[in-house]
Structure 1
């Protein structure tokens, strides 16, 4: 089965190679899901490049399983065919990069291909064709994009469901030649999977949260409050055991407008489309509690204050 992507005289062909040469069909859901992930990935690349992309599909050719996609790039109403070709070159370089290969050889290969793309972009600019601003940073972001890795992971996970698939190949062709750009056997599809959708958390060391509903009893209950920086309410997991103990055993008062100064951990994930979202909020340490004009220093706040006083009292190298 072949899926052809054409742009002028340049073509990229998707070849789904089966265990049995007599097979010429694929599960419709698998095919449509893989096409969706491919189009999402192309959309992400064009968005990161800062170019306007229109994708059209032509009717299938008779007697075959070939889908033809036309990529039209424009800027200010002017069609830029060269950027359609360049976008496909970015795809050729980025798509084969494995998610689970941190070897030095892989890093050097990726760096080499990135430098080659940057060089080609500069050559386009030197020829007088408009180039998106900060093109080097845009390409670097594409190479490290977790969103693109997620979309590739989705593609290969869905293609794995097709039991008869043996190899996935991408070819480039022109009126003069046809050659394999890369060939990926099903045995290594898993190397393109993302093990986890979790991202590194964000830490706000001086967050302020206005408490809406505190938890005044033992148990795994969530606090609720307004994160002042966002002016949005969230549920929070209270991780500061000393603060929880003071609330329950000493009956720390809460009233309308009570605020906590704290260390806030914002956990993040990738959704199914590869977009980032905040999955949960954790209060790791409570430094101070504000009730009106009154300030109550908490155990974590006292530790932070004493640590800072000790650091400030230490002579510097130049004292």
Structure 2
């Protein structure tokens, strides 16, 4: 990746995508090209959304040889700070597309913003009156860019793009650059070779399970016998299906030591399993009750053995400090 001191910022409003092929040919399968650009445009839209910018993107005609695509970025509502915003946006888009999964996009974008702040345009005495507005816009974008790495949509769209290219053996690499309309390069070219494609492709659509403790669930349909049926309960005001994984609580229910009636509630820990679809949108694939902390008898909480054990365990933060102390 490039670094801030390798960049010379003027104004950029275009993203150039150059495809490289085997045997010097300059033809690309139209279906693959359109699928790739669909993913790129969706990624650009998500980045702009995260930067709180309302943009539109146009394709720019090219006369030179080779297979190169150029996308012009513009704000839907122009203002005096628009050139700076678009410059940061185009460079950010290039960073979001060309940064591998293991590297943080936000760090790269912070370098971009620092370089923009030191650019001749910002430091020009003629822009002194405009400087407070420009600095405010930069601060806003700086705060917004911190959430880029949290976007599963960016990760998935980027993964889709490189996965499409990896299936097309004719492609040997792809290059991304932020340029102005005169094709002056604003950032150094970010080139990704075929051997590097796998660094951008997600190996699974499964997300890390989310654990939520101290959850109150009203049981609608318990499972009283040994079986693989799911329990049903009210969670966040909606009926949900759950897999009961607490062996202790299942034994209490199956032995008749826990009786259910209308309005029976348990306090538990949930594990929520999620995955992302092809557009990077999260969806819940299943919910498990991994521990029952307590249940109620005559409106009085009855603590389970596993609930008591959990209370005795040290806080995760304390354990972590002990490990690194």
Q: TM-score, normalised by structure 1?
A: 0.77
Decide whether the 8 Å contact of 2:265 with 2:296 is kept in 1.
yes
Decide whether the 8 Å contact of 1:53 with 1:71 is kept in 2.
yes
1:1-319 aligned within 5 A: 10-21=13-24, 23-57=25-59, 68-75=70-77, 78=79, 80-100=82-102, 111=107, 113-120=108-115, 126=131, 128-129=133-134, 131=137, 134-143=140-149, 145-174=151-180, 175=182, 177=184, 181-227=189-235, 230-250=236-256, 252-290=258-296, 293-304=299-310, 307=312
Decide whether the 8 Å contact of 2:206 with 2:274 is kept in 1.
yes
**Mean Cα displacement is larger for which, 140-149 or 125-134?**
125-134
**Mean Cα displacement is larger for which, 144-153 or 26-35?**
144-153
SS at match of 2:208: strand
Decide whether the 8 Å contact of 2:245 with 2:288 is kept in 1.
yes
What is the alpha-carbon distance in structure 2 between the residues aligned to residue 145 and residue 252 of structure 1?
43
Residue 246 of structure 1, CA deviation: 1.4
SS at match of 2:292: strand
> How many residues end up aligned between the 2 structures?
290
What is the alpha-carbon distance in structure 1 between the residues aligned to residue 89 and residue 162 of structure 2?
21
Gaps of 5+ in 2: 1-10, 123-129, 314-325
The structure showing larger relative contact order (alpha-carbon pairs under 8 Å, at least 6 residues apart) is: 2
What is the alpha-carbon distance in structure 1 between the residues aligned to residue 50 and residue 33 of structure 2?
26
Gaps of 5+ in 1: 1-7, 102-106, 309-319
Query: CA deviation digits over 1:226-282, x for unaligned, max 9?
Result: 11xx21222111110011111112263222211111111222322222223332211
Decide whether the 8 Å contact of 1:287 with 1:300 is kept in 2.
yes
Q: CA RMSD in A?
A: 3.3
Decide whether the 8 Å contact of 2:54 with 2:75 is kept in 1.
yes
Decide whether the 8 Å contact of 2:22 with 2:170 is kept in 1.
yes
Residue 94 of structure 1, CA deviation: 2.9
What is the alpha-carbon distance in structure 2 between the residues aligned to residue 212 and residue 299 of structure 1?
24
Query: CA deviation digits over 1:89-116, x for unaligned, max 9?
Result: 1122232211146xxxxx7x974x3332
What is the alpha-carbon distance in structure 2 between the residues aligned to residue 293 and residue 302 of structure 1?
19
Residue 10 of structure 1, CA deviation: 5.0
Residue 43 of structure 1, CA deviation: 0.8
Q: Which has the higher strand share?
A: 1
What is the alpha-carbon distance in structure 2 between the residues aligned to residue 42 and residue 253 of structure 1?
55
Residue 59 of structure 1, CA deviation: 7.3
Residue 133 of structure 1, CA deviation: 6.1
Decide whether the 8 Å contact of 2:15 with 2:70 is kept in 1.
no
Q: TM-score, normalised by structure 2?
A: 0.76
What is the alpha-carbon distance in structure 2 between the residues aligned to residue 110 and residue 206 of structure 1?
34
Residue 198 of structure 1, CA deviation: 2.9
Decide whether the 8 Å contact of 1:16 with 1:167 is kept in 2.
yes
